[in-house]
Structure 1
Amino acid sequence: MQAMILPLSQLFAPMLGVFAAMYLLAPTFAVARPWARIAVFIAVWLVVARYLEWRVFTTVLPASGSWYQVGWIWFCLFVELLTFTDQFILYLTFLRRTDRRSEADQHERRLRGLLQDELPSVDVFIPTYDEPLDVLEKTITGALCLDYPNFQVWVLDDGRRPWLKELCERKGAGYLTRSDNLNAKAGNINHALTMTHGDFFAIFDADFVPQRNFLMRTMGFFADPKIAIVQSPHAFYNEDPMQANLGLHRRLPDEQRFFFDCIMPARDGWDGAFCCGSNSVTRRAALRTVGDCLPTQSITEDILLTLVLLRKGYVTRYLCEPLAIGLAPESLGAFFVQRQRWARGAIQTLYLAAGPLGPGLSLMHRLLFFPTHWLSLGLRALMVVVVPIVFMWTGLAPVVEVTPESVFYYLFPAILALNGGISWFAPHAHFPLAAQVSATIQSFKILPTVLGTLVKPKGHAFRVTPKGAAARRTTYAADIFWLSAALMALTVVGLVLNTIPEWRIIDHPAALPMVAFWSVVNIVVLFFVCMTSLQARMGRSEERFEVDEPVVIHTDAGELLSGRISNISLSGAGVLLDSGLECPRNGEPLRVHIMQVGWIEATSVQQRDHFVGLQFRLPQSLERDLLIRKLFTVGRLKETSAVAWSVNTTMLKSIWSMAAPLPRIETSGAASSSAERLPAENLVIRPQPRIGDLAHLAGVRNLHPTGFTRTWP
C-alpha cells in the first residue's frame, strides 16, 4: 500500500534504474569478462530478491479466507518460486563459458601433421529404424566423405531392410543389424560396439549429415585423457515448426539455438556439458570403465552416459561449432514425439543411482543435471494463461494486497532485470515473445508427460522422431489449436464481462487494468500458438539453398546457355540466365553442368523473364552422391543456421574434369545475345565416366585438392 502514495518520480525510479543498468550500461561490458558476468548476476538477483520479499510478505502471508482461496494463492507462489529456482540455476550456469574453436584449430593443425597410422581409428555409427531413403542417403554419403584417414562407417539398421543393406554395399558402408530391438537406440549402438573395434566411435542420427572436417575438428581434444566425449551442436538446414508455420523463415533463430549456442558453452565451463545423442565422438577406453556399453535404464541414454562417465572422472567437452547439419522436426507432431522422449528420459534419471540425486557428484553438477526445466517450463507457461481466466470468471485472486502502483514498483523491475540479464548473457538468442509462445505450446503436451513420468517412471516405449514424409502427414495439431482457441475465447469473454459493471465478477476495480494488460498479452501469445499449430504447406520435397555460382545449360537443340544458379537442391535449381539469352521452353529436356558434380539431366519447368526453374532427373548415381557431398558436407552455416556455401575443389581423380573451370563461352563485341550462343560441337569438355554401380565415396577421403592420390598428410 505504501507505493500508492509515492510520487511518480519515485514510483518509476526502480524500473528506470533497472532499464538503464541492464539495457544501456551492461551492453557496454563484454560478456567474456568474468567480473562483468558476476556483476550482472548480482544486480539481477538483488532486484529479484527485492521483488520476492514483497511477494511473500505482502501478497501471500496476509492471505485469509477459505482453504481453496489460500491454497490457490500458495500454489501460485509455488509455481513462481519453481520458475525462479530454474532461472537461478541458469544464471549460475552463465557465470562461466567457453569458446574452444581456437583450441580446435590447434588440434587440427597437430592432427594434420601426423602420419596416417598415428591417428586413432574411429567407427562412425548411423543408428536407424524407419527413416526413408531420402533422409538416410544424405547421412551415409556425408559420413563416407569425412576427411580423416582411419575410419569406417557403419549403418545400424533396427528396421532390417534389405534395400538399405544393398545401398550400404553399393556405397561402401558397413551394415549391421540384430535379431531384436531391445533397448531401442542404446541397444542398437551397444550391439554395434560388440561387432566393431575402433579406438573411438562417432554417432550421427539418421538425419544428421557430418561436415567433412568433423573428425579433424573433434578428435584432437582427446589428447586430454580426462575427455571421454566431444559433442558438437545440432544445427539444421530446414525450418522448425515455429519458423515454418509462422512464416518467420530465418528471421528467427531455430528453437534450439539458445541451448546449443548459449547454454551448452556455459555448461562446458563447469565441465557439465552432456552428450546429445548425435554429432558426438566417444572414447572406447572410457566406455570400458563403465561396462563398455551405453546405459539403458533411461530412454535418454546420452545424458545418463555423461553422468556415468562423470562419476568416473571423465568429462564431456563441448565444441560450439556446427560440424553436422540435420533435419529439425518437420511438424508439431514430430516435435512433440522428440520433446516428450527428452522430458521423460530426463525425469527418469531422478529415480536412478546414476542420476543427479545419486552419490559421487558435486553440488553444481547436481544442479546442472537436475531436470527442473521440464517441470517449471510447462507449469509457468500454463499458469500465466490460466490465472487471469480463473480470476475473471471466479474472482479467485492469485495474490492479496496488490495495487497497480506496487506492480510498477516491484514486479516490472524484476521482469526487466531477468529478461535483460538473459539478453546480455545470450545476445541475439533470447526473444521473450517467441519463448513464451514456444513454452505455451509445449505446456499442453510436455507437462502431462512430465507429471505422468514422475508418477510412473518406467515402462515407457522409445518413440523415434518421424522424419521425411511420415513427419508431414498431419495438416494441423487439432488438440492444441482448439485448446488454445478455447483459452483465448475465455480470456476475451472474461475481459468483456468484467468491463460491464452489472456483470463484473472481479471485486477489485483497481485490479482490472492489470488483468486487462495481462489478458491482452495472453491473447497475443495464444493467437500465435494457434497459428503455429497449423502446419505450413511443404512446397518442395527437398530443401533448397541459396547459392551464387556459374552454370552452363545444354539444350535439346544443341545450344549452350550460360547463367548463374540462385538456388539449388537435390531435386532442382533456379537459374538466372545471362542477359539476351532466351529461356528454354517448358518441358524441354536439358543437361546442366554443376560445378563439382558434372552434367545432370534436367527438365525446364518454369520460365519468368531470364529466370528458369529446373527439375533434375537424378536417380541413384555418382552424380547424385557428388551433389549431396556438395550441398551438405562442405558448406558452412550462417548465423541463422541456414546453409551457406563455400566451393570445395577436392574431386575424384577419375572425374577431375568436373572440378575444372566451367566451359568458357567466348563472345565478340557487346554483351552476349541469343544469336551468339555457341553450338555444343564448339565446346571441348573432357569425357566424364559413368559408373553404373555407385563409386565408393569413401575414396574421397584419400584425395588431394589437386585430384591426385596423396599420402597423409
Structure 2
Amino acid sequence: MRNDYFTRYDGVEPPDFTPMSKRRTLVWQGLAGATVGLGLWYLQWRWTQSLNPDALTFSIVVALVETLFFIGTLIFYFDIWQEQDTPAKPAPQTRKDAALDDTDDPISVDIFLTTFDEAPEVVEPSITDAQALRHPAGVRIKIHVLDDGNRPEFAQMSERLGVNYISRNNNLGFKAGNLRNALFQTSGDFVVILDADTRVFPGLLENTLGYFRDPKVAWVQTPHWFYDIPQGQEWGAWLHAKFGARAGWLAKPLKMVSGMEHVGRDPFLSDPALFFDVIQRRRNRHGASFCCGAGSIHRREAVFRAALCRKGEDLSKLSARLTCAAPNAAVELQPFRFHVSEDIYTSMLLQSDAQAGWKSVYHPQVECRMLSPWSLKAWATQRLKYAGGTFDIMLHDNPLRHRGMPWQTKLHYAATFWSYLSALWAPVLLLAPAISLFTGMAPVAAYSVDFFSHFLPVLLVGELAMLAACKTHNIHAGRLSALATLPIQLRALWLVLLGRKPKFPTTPKTPILSDGLRFVAPNIALLLVMLAAAVYGGLATFQHWPGHSVSLLVVNLFWLGWNALAVGRFVLSVLWNPQTELSVNSHPIPQEGELPNALSGKTV
C-alpha cells in the first residue's frame, strides 16, 4: 500500500449541497406536469394511430415498453417531487433531550468501524479521524473496531490507538452479523456505523444528534462522498501527452462528441451526488430515505425493537436488550437483518412498524468521506451486490406488501424497484434500432411529420424537466450507468430467480491494475451487433431492399449511435489506468493478485 495514497487527497473539499430554490422548484414541477401531459398525449396517439400493421408484433412490443418507461417516469417524479429538509436542532445534552428517558444523565454514543480484510493503512486514518470528533456537551463517545477478520495486528493497532477492539470466531451474517456481535457487547444509546475507509469530519455528531430530539427518528443518514474520484486530464493535455502538440486541435471536437471536459474523470461513474442530493434528500419529506450503511447514526432502541417484533418476542424484553449482554443471549436475533443489502432491508422493516411510527432523517450535508471503486472489478462487484440485494428483497419480502408501511414510503421503494425492473424491458429500446436496420421493420407506421410532432415535444420537455430537477448534477451519468449495468442487473436477477442467495462480496477500493475486459464483454458484443446493424442497414438502403428506406436508416442510425455511445462508455473505462492519477515514482501500482488479501477490499 502506498503511504501517500490517502494524504494526497486530504486537501479536497467536500461539496456544499445547497437547497433547491422556490423558483427552480416551480420550474421543475411545471415542466414535470407538462411532460406528463405530453406523455399521455403521445401514448394515446401511439396506441391508436401509429402502430405499424406490417410489423404489428414488433410495434406493439416497442409501444408497450414506452408505456412502461412512462409509468416509471410517473413514479420517479413522485419520488423527487419536492425537497423538504428536516430543520436542524442543537445536539441534545441529556437523555431527556434525546427522548431516551426522563433523566438528565449523559448520552452515550458508540462509533462502530467495521472491517474484514482491509489493510491497517486503510483503517488507521478512519480511527484517528473518529478520535477527532467533537464531543457535544453531555455526550460520551466510545470507538470500537469491529474486526470480522479476527487479526492480531488489528488488535495491536487498536490497543496502540486507545480504542476498543471487538472480533468474533465466525462470519455469520457478514457485516450485519458483525454489527450484531458488537451491539451485544456495547450499550451506547446511539450507534454510528462506519466502513473501514469512512473518515468522519469533526462535526458529525454536533450536526446530526439534534434530529433525535424527535422520539420517532430511528436513524439519520448522511451523504456518501468519494473524495478520491479521479479528476482525469483536460483533453488538450491528454492529446499532447499521447500524440504530440499537433493533435491539440482535436480537443474541442472530442469534448463535443464525448460530452466530457476531461479524459478519465470518474471513469466508473461512481459519484453518488445525484442519488443522495436529489433522490434521498427528497424522500426525506415523507421520512422515507433509507439507510445506506456508512455514515448513518442509529437509535439503539429502534433496531432492537424491530428485531424483537420480527421474532415475535415480548417487547417488555426491550430494556434488557439495550444493555450489555452476552452475544449468545440472542443467537437468532438480528438487529440488522442478515442480508447482502442489510441497510435498506433493515430500513424497510423499521418503516413498516406502524405502532412505533419510526421515520428516518436525511441530513443533506457531507459529514464523512470514503474511497471510490478504482477498478472495473470493484465497480462490477458493487453493482452486482446492489442489484442482487434489491431483487432478492423485491421477490421475497416486498415492502409494498407490508401493511404497516405508509403508502408514500411504499411509492418511494417502488421507484427503486421499478428502476431495477426496467432491466427487463430496456434492452427492447436499446436493440430496437438494430432490429429495424436488420429487418427493415419500423416500430411506427411511418417516420412522418405526425410522428415527430408527437415524439419530440415530450422528449425535449422531459429533458428540460430533468435538468431543472437535478440542479447542477450530471443527469447523463445515471443513464449511462443504467445502460452499462444492464448485463449485471440481468445476471443478478437470474441468480435470484434460481434461488441462489445473494453473497456478501467485498468491494475492492485500492487502486489495482486488473484485466477488466471480462466485465465489459457483453458491452463489446452489443457494440459489435450495433455496428453490424449499421453496416447492413446502410447496404440494404442503398440496394433498395424491401422495407428499407432513407428515413428508416437516418432515424435508426441516430438512435443506434446514441445507444452505442452509452454502451461504449464503460468499454473505454478499460483503457483507464490509475497510473495517470497517481504519481507512482518508485512505488508502482500493484497488479491484481500481487496484493495480500488484507489490502484488496472493503467491507460492504
Interval of TM-score (by shorter of Structure 1 and Structure 2): 0.7 to 0.9
Is 1:153 aligned to 2:143, yes or no?
Answer: yes
C-alpha distance 321-228 of structure 1, shift in aligned 2 (>3 A):
same
Is 1:439 aligned to 2:458, yes or no?
Answer: no
CA contact (8 A) 1:404 1:514 kept: no
SS in 2 for 1:289: helix
**Residue number in structure 2 paired with 1:81:** 67
CA contact (8 A) 2:341 2:386 kept: yes
Instruction: Tell me by how many angstroms 1:251 deviates.
Output: 12
SS in 1 for 2:502: coil
Instruction: Tell me by how many angstroms 1:404 deviates.
Output: 3.4
CA contact (8 A) 1:129 1:159 kept: yes
**Residues 565-621 of structure 1 deviation map (CA, whole Å, 9 limit, x = unaligned):** xxxxxx9xxxxxxxxxxxxxxxxxxxxxxxxxxxxxxxxx89xxxxxxx99xxxxxx
Q: Which residue of the other structure, out of 24, 42, 45, is the alignment partner of 1:51?
A: 42
Counterpart mapping for 1:511-522 below 5 A: 511-522=552-563
Is 1:460 aligned to 2:502, yes or no?
Answer: yes
Q: Which residue of the other structure, out of 378, 382, 388, is the alignment partner of 2:427?
A: 382
**Residue number in structure 2 paired with 1:136:** 123
SS in 2 for 1:307: helix
> For structure 1, which segment, 443-452 or 200-209, has the greater mean C-alpha deviation from structure 2 after superposition?
443-452
Q: Which residue of the other structure, out of 482, 487, 491, is the alignment partner of 1:448?
A: 491
C-alpha distance 78-138 of structure 1, shift in aligned 2 (>3 A):
farther
Is 1:205 aligned to 2:189, yes or no?
Answer: no
Letter of the 1:449 partner, please give it: A
Letter of the 1:107 partner, please give it: P
Following the alignment from structure 1 to structure 2, what is the Cα–Cα distance between the partners of residues 425 and 243?
A: 29
C-alpha distance 334-418 of structure 1, shift in aligned 2 (>3 A):
same
Letter of the 2:435 partner, please give it: V
CA contact (8 A) 1:265 1:320 kept: yes
Is 1:218 aligned to 2:233, yes or no?
Answer: no
Structure with the higher strand share, 1 or 2? 1
CA contact (8 A) 1:139 1:207 kept: yes
Instruction: Tell me by how many angstroms 1:265 deviates.
Output: 1.2
CA contact (8 A) 2:390 2:417 kept: no
CA contact (8 A) 1:392 1:505 kept: no
CA contact (8 A) 1:128 1:159 kept: yes
Q: Which residue of the other structure, out of 436, 448, 470, is the alignment partner of 1:404?
A: 448
Letter of the 2:445 partner, please give it: E
C-alpha distance 529-241 of structure 1, shift in aligned 2 (>3 A):
farther
Following the alignment from structure 2 to structure 1, what is the Cα–Cα distance between the partners of residues 563 and 503?
A: 35
Runs ≥4 residues deviating over 6 A = 240-246, 250-253
**Residue number in structure 2 paired with 1:188:** 178
Following the alignment from structure 1 to structure 2, what is the Cα–Cα distance between the partners of residues 513 and 37?
A: 33
CA contact (8 A) 1:154 1:173 kept: yes
Following the alignment from structure 2 to structure 1, what is the Cα–Cα distance between the partners of residues 392 and 230?
A: 27
CA contact (8 A) 1:232 1:279 kept: yes
Instruction: Tell me by how many angstroms 1:64 deviates.
Output: 4.4
Instruction: Tell me by how many angstroms 1:333 deviates.
Output: 1.6
CA contact (8 A) 1:347 1:457 kept: no
SS in 2 for 1:236: coil
**Residue number in structure 2 paired with 1:493:** 535
**Residue number in structure 2 paired with 1:107:** 90
Percent identity between the aligned chains? Answer: 25
**Residue number in structure 2 paired with 1:422:** 466
Letter of the 2:33 partner, please give it: I
C-alpha distance 181-396 of structure 1, shift in aligned 2 (>3 A):
farther
Instruction: Tell me by how many angstroms 1:31 deviates.
Output: 4.3
C-alpha distance 354-76 of structure 1, shift in aligned 2 (>3 A):
closer
SS in 1 for 2:298: strand
Gaps of 5+ in 1: 1-28, 543-570, 572-604, 607-613, 616-713
SS in 2 for 1:311: coil
Is 1:126 aligned to 2:113, yes or no?
Answer: yes
Instruction: Tell me by how many angstroms 1:261 deviates.
Output: 1.0
**Residue number in structure 2 paired with 1:92:** 78
C-alpha distance 493-511 of structure 1, shift in aligned 2 (>3 A):
closer
**Residue number in structure 2 paired with 1:710:** none
Instruction: Tell me by how many angstroms 1:482 deviates.
Output: 2.9
Following the alignment from structure 2 to structure 1, what is the Cα–Cα distance between the partners of residues 267 and 117?
A: 32
TM-score by length of 1: 0.65
Counterpart mapping for 1:257-276 below 5 A: 257-276=273-292
SS in 2 for 1:150: strand
Following the alignment from structure 1 to structure 2, what is the Cα–Cα distance between the partners of residues 354 and 198?
A: 32
RMSD: 3.3
Following the alignment from structure 2 to structure 1, what is the Cα–Cα distance between the partners of residues 61 and 495?
A: 19
Structure with the higher helix share, 1 or 2? 2
Gaps of 5+ in 2: 1-19, 99-103, 235-259, 309-333, 589-604
Instruction: Tell me by how many angstroms 1:354 deviates.
Output: 6.5
**Residue number in structure 2 paired with 1:280:** 296
Following the alignment from structure 2 to structure 1, what is the Cα–Cα distance between the partners of residues 546 and 145?
A: 63
C-alpha distance 32-193 of structure 1, shift in aligned 2 (>3 A):
farther
CA contact (8 A) 2:226 2:369 kept: yes
**Residue number in structure 2 paired with 1:562:** none
Instruction: Tell me by how many angstroms 1:299 deviates.
Output: 1.8
**Residue number in structure 2 paired with 1:290:** 306
SS in 2 for 1:233: coil
How many residues end up aligned between the 2 structures? Answer: 503
Following the alignment from structure 2 to structure 1, what is the Cα–Cα distance between the partners of residues 119 and 307?
A: 33
CA contact (8 A) 1:393 1:505 kept: no
C-alpha distance 420-473 of structure 1, shift in aligned 2 (>3 A):
same
Instruction: Tell me by how many angstroms 1:155 deviates.
Output: 1.3
SS in 1 for 2:400: coil
CA contact (8 A) 1:243 1:250 kept: no
C-alpha distance 284-340 of structure 1, shift in aligned 2 (>3 A):
same
**Residue number in structure 2 paired with 1:695:** none
CA contact (8 A) 2:179 2:336 kept: no
Following the alignment from structure 1 to structure 2, what is the Cα–Cα distance between the partners of residues 35 and 431?
A: 19
- Greater relative CO, 1 or 2 (CA 8 Å, sep 6+): 2
Instruction: Tell me by how many angstroms 1:250 deviates.
Output: 7.2
Instruction: Tell me by how many angstroms 1:80 deviates.
Output: 2.2
Following the alignment from structure 2 to structure 1, what is the Cα–Cα distance between the partners of residues 446 and 232?
A: 36
Following the alignment from structure 2 to structure 1, what is the Cα–Cα distance between the partners of residues 395 and 434?
A: 36
CA contact (8 A) 2:268 2:376 kept: no
CA contact (8 A) 1:131 1:468 kept: no
Following the alignment from structure 2 to structure 1, what is the Cα–Cα distance between the partners of residues 147 and 267?
A: 37
SS in 1 for 2:351: helix
**Residues 623-654 of structure 1 deviation map (CA, whole Å, 9 limit, x = unaligned):** xxxxxxxxxxxxxxxxxxxxxxxxxxxxxxxx
CA contact (8 A) 2:274 2:470 kept: yes
C-alpha distance 475-346 of structure 1, shift in aligned 2 (>3 A):
closer
Following the alignment from structure 1 to structure 2, what is the Cα–Cα distance between the partners of residues 261 and 285?
A: 28
CA contact (8 A) 1:131 1:466 kept: no
Following the alignment from structure 1 to structure 2, what is the Cα–Cα distance between the partners of residues 207 and 76?
A: 45
SS in 1 for 2:444: coil
Letter of the 2:169 partner, please give it: S
Letter of the 1:49 partner, please give it: L
Instruction: Tell me by how many angstroms 1:439 deviates.
Output: 2.1
Is 1:306 aligned to 2:322, yes or no?
Answer: no
**Residues 669-692 of structure 1 deviation map (CA, whole Å, 9 limit, x = unaligned):** xxxxxxxxxxxxxxxxxxxxxxxx
Letter of the 1:158 partner, please give it: D
**Residue number in structure 1 paired with 2:250:** none
Instruction: Tell me by how many angstroms 1:539 deviates.
Output: 4.4
CA contact (8 A) 1:422 1:430 kept: no
CA contact (8 A) 2:484 2:570 kept: yes
